[in-house]
A and B are shown apart, each in its own frame.
Chain A
């Protein structure tokens, strides 16, 4: 491995309030992987006014930051970003390329992977270089974990959700090299993002909630779903969901907790009418107390919580809400 080349690359992202937390977390992980490969960490950062973000990425562990700074790069444009990043990868031939499972990363990663004719693993929760130098990419599936590898094609690509890896301590004494990259100025976009519009989310934010109530398919119908929502409201809790609840149309994808949704960090978690699928459970990081309500005594969720309630949630949840309201009104 050549010493002046970066074997591990991260596509970083600058949001409204600066560099995305997921990008810093990925750079922290990339640092570990690059150390294992005795190589460097390269970061691609496209947008406008990038100096603060660049500094943070270096403090988080980047050795080289490839900066594309141009008006046409805001908002994110899939085709232009793909063009720039694919060209950079073709010059540098890194072993590994990581992106955040953000809206941008989820669209950009497969565009880059298909163009480079390489593999891409979705929403990993563990990444590790094995003794042969191959990246082992782990995802939860089928009640356990599976390991995926991409042994021949390069780069080995993966996306990772915000919160899976911890944010590295920033080291202000670190230095890195900033490389300015050329942005094509007459690029024809066949799909052009005209504007990005923000929508206010209702209720308590899942990312910061100290209590989270999550519901699953066991809610049965929309009425059952609203009963769980009332319990969340009275507990001033974030109201999260599992994929089956989203698929049923009871709630939005934004509320989904887990591997391909949000990672949350509450003190107390209550899972209601859900089976404890790992894709969901890996999203609850470090909760002190975990409680599950389910009417199936064999439900795997009972192996993953501190307290279990074997009841139909359609009976138990309204009764609990009523009791909590009574004690509150005393």
Chain B
């Protein structure tokens, strides 16, 4: 049986996440309740696992590190077809950089057992570091392929995948177990179904804290992070804007003038 782990992150809804801005007076982030959603690329990671499950006998574990409300994201993944959901939640996990995040996820994956494949989105919409997948692979001593766009061959332990590379792609021969980080071109995630939501109701979400992962507390969260933020500051506006006035057609005419003055129309 194919043992698959999918790492998902609960992120502030990217459609409105730009409302979160550095306060020019306090030089810190205001508390804003932006609803959490599944990181868009992680839904492609889950879909990759679901497609494998259609072809082969497989068990999908969804793993998410986040505050208690991130449990809703795990629940959503269960409704989409994942078999088991694990939420890593502990105030001691807060403030983790990519290194500490990957370390925590890797410890949890070790506890889950020996996976054949670990899927991650290639980056998160809020952190955008791309580091978590390759760092998990390092901690688990597995190979990794980043930015996978196509799984060409997935029978047995020898896979062939295509991944974005330069102005094109690379073809990679891969020995499982392995970590794959995926791009949105890999697949088209399916929407939630009513029957899936009903089925997920009876599935349980396991919660683990740092005690369950069996490492001293200083390995996690801010304490376990080699990097941290020392300052934040807003940027001053750099240009003096001139707003075009008038009706739509008048604005169009003015714009044509600006473009032709700049020599492009």
Chains A and B bind each other: yes
- Shortest distance in angstroms between A264's beta carbon and chain B's nearest beta carbon? 15
A120 proximal to B (CB < 8 A): yes
Contact count band on B: 35 or more
A178 proximal to B (CB < 8 A): no
Q: Let me know if B146 and A106 touch, CB within 8 A.
A: yes
| Residue in chain A with minimal CB distance to B159 | A191
The distance in angstroms between the C-alpha atoms of A95 and B14, with both chains bound, is 36
- Shortest distance in angstroms between A5's beta carbon and chain B's nearest beta carbon? 22
- Shortest distance in angstroms between B64's beta carbon and chain A's nearest beta carbon? 19
B166 proximal to A (CB < 8 A): yes
Instruction: Please tell me which stretch of B45-53, B76-84, B256-264 contacts chain A, meaning at least 4 of its Cβ atoms lie within 8 angstroms of it.
Output: B256-264
Interface membership of chain A positions 162-202, coded 1 if the CB is closer than 8 angstroms to chain B and 0 otherwise: 00000000000000000000000000011111111111010
Q: Which of B37-81 contact A (CB under 8 A)?
A: 40-41
Contact count band on A: 35 or more
A79 proximal to B (CB < 8 A): yes
B198 proximal to A (CB < 8 A): no
Check A308/B242 contact, CB under 8 A, given A118-B226, A277-B18. Answer: yes
| Residue in chain A with minimal CB distance to B129 | A122
The distance in angstroms between the C-alpha atoms of A27 and B233, with both chains bound, is 28
B249 proximal to A (CB < 8 A): yes
Residues of B within 8 A of A311 (CB): 248, 251
Interface membership of chain A positions 282-325, coded 1 if the CB is closer than 8 angstroms to chain B and 0 otherwise: 00000011111000000000111111111100011001100110
The distance in angstroms between the C-alpha atoms of A323 and B226, with both chains bound, is 55
Q: Let me know if B235 and A197 touch, CB within 8 A.
A: no
B199 proximal to A (CB < 8 A): no
Check A142/B125 contact, CB under 8 A, given A194-B172, A195-B171, A327-B256. Answer: no
Instruction: Please tell me which stretch of B2-10, B95-103, B110-118, B201-209 contacts chain A, meaning at least 4 of its Cβ atoms lie within 8 angstroms of it.
Output: B95-103
Tell me how many residue pairs across A and B have CB atoms closer than 8 Å: 240
Q: Let me know if B170 and A193 touch, CB within 8 A.
A: yes
Q: Which of B140-154 contact A (CB under 8 A)?
A: 142-147
Q: Let me know if B178 and A190 touch, CB within 8 A.
A: yes
The distance in angstroms between the C-alpha atoms of A194 and B265, with both chains bound, is 46
A144 proximal to B (CB < 8 A): yes
The distance in angstroms between the C-alpha atoms of A315 and B255, with both chains bound, is 14
Q: Which of A57-79 contact B (CB under 8 A)?
A: 75, 78-79
Residues of A within 8 A of B170 (CB): 75, 193-197
Instruction: Please tell me which stretch of B86-94, B130-138, B210-218 contacts chain A, meaning at least 4 of its Cβ atoms lie within 8 angstroms of it.
Output: B130-138
Q: Which of A138-157 contact B (CB under 8 A)?
A: 140-150, 152-153
Q: Name 8 A/B residue pairs within 8 A (Cβ), A-sorted.
A: A122-B98, A143-B21, A144-B22, A190-B143, A191-B172, A191-B178, A243-B14, A308-B242
On B, residues with C-beta under 8 Å from A are 14-15, 18, 20-22, 29, 40-41, 97-99, 102, 123, 125, 128-135, 137-139, 142-147, 164-175, 178, 183-185, 225-235, 237-244, 248-249, 251-253, 255-256, 258-259, 262, 264-265
Q: Which 4 A-B pairs have the closest CB atoms?
A: A119-B226, A119-B227, A114-B138, A303-B237
On A, residues with C-beta under 8 Å from B are 15, 75, 78-79, 102-103, 106-107, 109-111, 113-115, 117-123, 136, 140-150, 152-153, 189-199, 201, 210-211, 217, 235-237, 243-244, 246-247, 249, 252-254, 260, 267-268, 275, 277-279, 288-292, 302-311, 315-316, 319-320, 323-324, 327-328
